[in-house]
Structure 1
Amino acid sequence: MEKHHLLRRDPNWHPNGCNLCGQLGHQAANCPNGTINWRQIYGDEAFIMRQPIFYSDIQERIKFKEDGMLDLEARAQAYARAKAEELGLNWAEIAAKAEELRNKDPSEVIAKVAPAGDDSLPPGWAVATDPNGRQYYWHKKTQKVQWERPRDDTPIS
């Protein structure tokens, strides 16, 4: 018996008895006489022994996920190819362009897509992009928003 149990137990109790009340026939987790309801505090899950997890099981789960991801990628490409054919697009061109973009430096791609800088706008104006990728312009001081690019003579109201 562990030392911390011996310190809390009455020395007259049976060694196999409950650590809370000393009676034989049940454990502290199921003690009807104790002052602490451990099951209520921790729940039944705390008193159930769990199976050990081995390294080989972890590797098996990782392999299963990888196989699932490869399958998902193959099904996604098949769906995209079917949609491209349905829309009359050339799948080979699309795949080649995607591979070209995948091999480029991300800063190059972003520089081509990024909105124009503030230097080409009149003072006080900024450019932003909506969730659909369209650019709009707003005046920083008045918070006026418009779709058309402002010119130097654009009145601010």
Structure 2
Amino acid sequence: MEKHHLLRRDPNWHPNGCNLCGQLGHQAANCPNGTINWRQIYGDEAFIMRQPIYYSDIQERIQLKEDGMKDLEARAQAYAKTKAEELGLNWAEIMARAEELRNKDPSEVIPKVAAAAGDELPPGWAVATDPNGRQYFWHKKTQKVQWERPTEDTPIS
């Protein structure tokens, strides 16, 4: 029995009795002695047992989703191939380059910011890379962002 039912029930009532009045023979939804008409509030639908969901149904839904994703991927590749042909690009080269990048270590693909001895930033500045691989600079304290590399005499405002 659920805890909220135990808290509201009289401990002398039979465990299989109605949760509202404690009498055997009916449930709270059909209680003639209760003060709340649950059927009127929630309707008959709330008191009908729902069909169970079986593991095979879940597996079927997962398989349908995977099939849909495979179809979507095939259509996306067909669209990309058509666009590449329209632009005069070689689809085989694009796919070979993609496979080459897929097999590389991510640290090799992502451009690293290598600061040479004379290329150090002024104090308080940091460098970051946007999603397109371009570097930008920002001042840590003021949160000022700029594309140009800061110098010692760059104003901080």
TM-score interval, normalised by the smaller of the two chains: 0.5 to 0.7
How far the C-alpha of 1:44 sits from its partner, in A, is 5.6
Q: What amino acid is aligned across from residue 106 of structure 2 in structure 1?
A: P
- 1:70-149 correspondence to structure 2 within 5 Å: 70-110=70-110, 113-116=111-114, 120-124=119-123, 125-130=125-130, 132-141=132-141, 143-149=143-149
Question: Is 1:156 paired with 2:142?
Answer: no
Count of aligned positions: 138
Q: TM-score, normalised by structure 2?
A: 0.68
Question: Is 1:51 paired with 2:51?
Answer: yes
* Cα distance in 1 between the residues matched to 2:53 and 2:126: 56
- Identity percentage of aligned residues: 74
SS of structure 2 residue aligned to 1:137: strand
Unaligned runs of 5+ residues in structure 2 are 1-13
Q: TM-score, normalised by structure 1?
A: 0.68
Unaligned runs of 5+ residues in structure 1 are 20-27
Q: What amino acid is aligned across from residue 122 of structure 2 in structure 1?
A: P
CA separation of 1:97 and 1:29: change in aligned 2, threshold 3 A:
same
Q: Deviations over 1:98-118 (max 9, x none)?
A: 1111112223222xx244459
Q: Deviations over 1:75-97 (max 9, x none)?
A: 01001101111111111111111
CA separation of 1:8 and 1:118: change in aligned 2, threshold 3 A:
farther
Provide the alpha-carbon RMSD of the alignment: 3.2
Q: What amino acid is aligned across from residue 17 of structure 2 in structure 1?
A: H
* Cα distance in 1 between the residues matched to 2:30 and 2:22: 18
